[in-house]
Structure 1
C-alpha cells in the first residue's frame, strides 16, 4: 500500500515525497476537483515540491492519471477479492453477493482516494488514457462475471439473467453513490446493506 504521508521537501530533484507521494496527492486532487482542474503545478504545490521535480517520476500529467486509474481499480478489485476469499466454501449466494457489494462500497467510499478518483475522472480523461486502463478494468469486471456466473450455474441466480447486464447495472449503481453519499448521515456498511437488500429482494411486496 502506498505511503499516504506527504511532507515538505527541498527543491532537489530526488524528493522525499517520492513517486507514491506524488500519486497520493494527485489521487486526492483528482477525486476532489476532477481531471481538467488539476495541473502538474497544482499537484506539485500540494505535495510541497517544485513542478519540475515531478518529472523525475513522471513524464506527463497523463502518466500520473494512468497510474491513478490503475491503482483505483486495483484497490476495489483487491477489496472484493479478499472479501470473497475469506468466505467458507459453503457460503450461500446471498452472503457472497453481500460481501462483494460491501467490499466494493468500502473501497470506494472509505478506503482509497484512488478508487474514488477513478470513478470521478474516467469519463473525463483522454481516450488513450482510458484505453490504457481497460485491461485493469476488464480484470475486475471478469471477477464479478465469474462470481455471478458461478452463482447462476449453481442455481442461485435465475437462468435468464444476463450476467453482463447485471454486472453493469450493479457496479454502475454502486459507483454512483460517490455523487451523493454523505458519511455524516450514514455509514458505507449501512448503505451496503440497503443496496444488497434491494438487489437481492426487490422493492415490491409479494
Structure 2
C-alpha cells in the first residue's frame, strides 16, 4: 500500500528528470539556436528517449519558453545575490561594478540558460518571449535603480541619460556571449574593460 513517504522518491525523480531535460535544452539551444534545436538532440544530451520529454513539456516551444525564462530569472537572481553579499557601505558606483562582474561571470561561465536566452531573444516567436520578457523587465528595473542611486550620489555624470546608458551597457555585456573567446581574452580582462566603461565613460571623476 502506498503512502506519502513512498510518493516522495517518485516526485523527486520526476523533478530531477525535468531539470535534466531543461539543462540539456539550454545546452542545445545555446549552441544551435531556436531553428536548430530538435527534441531528439535534447533527449540525447539528457540521456533519455525523445518521447520522455512530452511527459514534462507539451511541445518543443513550451520547453524552449521555459529555458528562456529560466535564463532570465537566474542571471537576475545571481546578480541580486552578488549585491546582497557586498559589505555595508559599498558605494553606489561600486555596486554597479559588482553587478557588471556578476552578470558577465554568470552569462559566460556559469549558465547555458542565460546564454541561450540572450542568443535567442530575437529568434523565437513573440509568444515564447513573453514570459522571459517580463523577467527581463524586472532585471532592467534592478539596473535602473543601481544607475539612479549612483547618479543621485554624484557618482555618475549629472547629464548622463540613464536609460540609454543602462541599455547600452546591458547590450554590450549580452553581446559578449557572441564574440568572447577565452583563448584571446580572459574573463578578468573582459570584466575590467567593461567596468572601465562605467568608470571612465559615465563617472564625473574617473578613478
What band does the TM-score fall into relative to the shorter chain?
A: 0.7 to 0.9
Secondary structure in 2 aligned to 1:185?
Answer: coil
When normalised by structure 1's length, the TM-score is 0.86
Distance in 1 (CA, whole Å) between partners of 2:89 and 2:53 is: 50
Kept in 1, the 8 Å contact 2:25–2:63? The answer is yes
Distance in 1 (CA, whole Å) between partners of 2:95 and 2:37 is: 38
CA gap of 1:16–1:175, structure 2 versus 1, over 3 A, is closer
Residue 105 of structure 2 corresponds to 106
- Alpha-carbon offset, residue 120 of structure 1: 0.7
Distance in 2 (CA, whole Å) between partners of 1:122 and 1:161 is: 28
- Alpha-carbon offset, residue 37 of structure 1: 0.4
Secondary structure in 2 aligned to 1:65?
Answer: helix
- Alpha-carbon offset, residue 104 of structure 1: 0.5
Any gaps of 5 or more consecutive residues in structure 1? Answer: 1-13
Aligned counterparts, 1:9-48, within 5 A: 18-48=17-47
1:46-93 CA-to-partner distances (Å, cap 9, x unmatched) read 222222111100001111111111111122112211221122232223
Residue 137 of structure 2 corresponds to 138
Deviation >4 Å, runs of 4+? 14-17
Distance in 1 (CA, whole Å) between partners of 2:96 and 2:56 is: 40
Matched, 1:151 2:150: yes
Distance in 2 (CA, whole Å) between partners of 1:153 and 1:78 is: 25
Kept in 2, the 8 Å contact 1:17–1:47? The answer is no
Matched, 1:188 2:187: yes
- Alpha-carbon offset, residue 15 of structure 1: 7.1
Aligned counterparts, 1:110-121, within 5 A: 110-121=109-120
- Alpha-carbon offset, residue 124 of structure 1: 0.5
Distance in 1 (CA, whole Å) between partners of 2:14 and 2:164 is: 46
Matched, 1:66 2:65: yes
Q: Over aligned residue pairs, what C-alpha RMSD do you find?
A: 2.0
Residue 121 of structure 2 corresponds to 122
Residue 96 of structure 2 corresponds to 97
Matched, 1:173 2:149: no
When normalised by structure 2's length, the TM-score is 0.85
1:136-195 CA-to-partner distances (Å, cap 9, x unmatched) read 111111110111111112222222222221111000000111111112233322210111
Aligned residues: 191
Residue 10 of structure 2 corresponds to none
Kept in 1, the 8 Å contact 2:93–2:150? The answer is no
Residue 54 of structure 2 corresponds to 55
Structure number with higher helix proportion = 2
Distance in 2 (CA, whole Å) between partners of 1:167 and 1:16 is: 37
- Alpha-carbon offset, residue 198 of structure 1: 2.5
Residue 162 of structure 1 corresponds to 161
